[in-house]
Amino acid sequence: MQENKDPEAVRRRAMQDPEIQQIIADPAMQLILQQMQKDPQALREYVSCCLCQFAILNLMTVSVSE
């Protein structure tokens, strides 16, 4: 149970998911994720884009459910 709360363990498990690997490997998503790290308000802009919204929700689902 403690492992589920460890961000590094969650990241390792998420990176084993092929769909997450594909999202993370996408150069456009890399830029979006970097921007959102610097400016969390940027999330609002990106969720209005359907493709970005799908990818972001998948990433968030993994981090919450793991």
> What are the pLDDT digits (tens) for 27-36?
988 888 888 8
pLDDT of residue 57: 78
Element of type H or E holding 3 = helix 2-5
Write out pLDDT tens, residues 24-61: 898 988 888 888 889 988 877 777 776 677 787 788 77
Contact 17, 11 (CB under 8 A): no
Domain ranges of the chain: 2-65
Mean pLDDT of 7-21: 85
Q: What is the pTM of this model?
A: 0.58
CATH architecture label of 2-65: Orthogonal Bundle (1.10)
How far is it, in rounded angstroms, from Cα 35 to Cα 32? Answer: 5
Distances (CA, A) of 6 to 1, 34, 40: 9, 21, 22
Angle of CA points 14, 19, 20, to nearest 5°:
35
Q: Which of 2-6, 21-25, 62-66 has the highest mean pLDDT?
A: 21-25
